[in-house]
Amino acid sequence: MTLDPRSGMPLHRQLAAALRARIAAGEWPPGALLPAQARLAHEYEVGKATVLAAVAALRAEGLIDVERGVGLRVREPADRERVAVPRGALIVCRPPTPDERARLDIPEGVHVQVVTVGGRVRGVYPGDRVELSTS
């Protein structure tokens, strides 16, 4: 996929979409390493900052992990658990605190879902492993 600087869409978003499509197509299956950031910059004819922004977006989506000294790795999909929450519960998605990240073993880029009922927090769940249901 060629990036189009005249499209009106920022290049880092175009690059993130291109990388996301290659992951979805199975070119880089779960556990696979993506090319080095310098190689991606060369392949897509963009600067390092564009690659870093695209990588940050994919990491925030939970699609990849950045392993120091190793590279960019496609994240293994997590098994999902369904949790029933009461109707009328307030559910907020936010970044985890350092304590929540450690306690729930949440990788970088994954948010938590916080369930509040009657003004009291009833549960904090990792967004990549839990589906909340009111039925």
Tokens 């929540």 found at: 100
pLDDT confidence of residue 108: 77
**CA atoms of 22 and 28, how far apart (whole Å):** 7
Go through the domains of the chain in sequence order and give each one's CATH number.
11-74 (1.10.10.10), 81-133 (no CATH)
Structure tokens at 36: 């080095």
Relative to beta strand 120-126, strand 112-117 is: antiparallel
Residues pairing with 25 in the sheet: none
pTM check: above 0.75: no
Q: Give 58-91 pLDDT, tens digit per residue.
A: 988 888 988 889 999 999 887 889 999 999 999 9
Relative to beta strand 81-84, strand 130-133 is: parallel
pLDDT confidence of residue 128: 86
pLDDT confidence of residue 30: 95
| SS3 label, residue 129 | coil
pLDDT confidence of residue 4: 87
The list of the chain residues with pLDDT below 50 reads: none
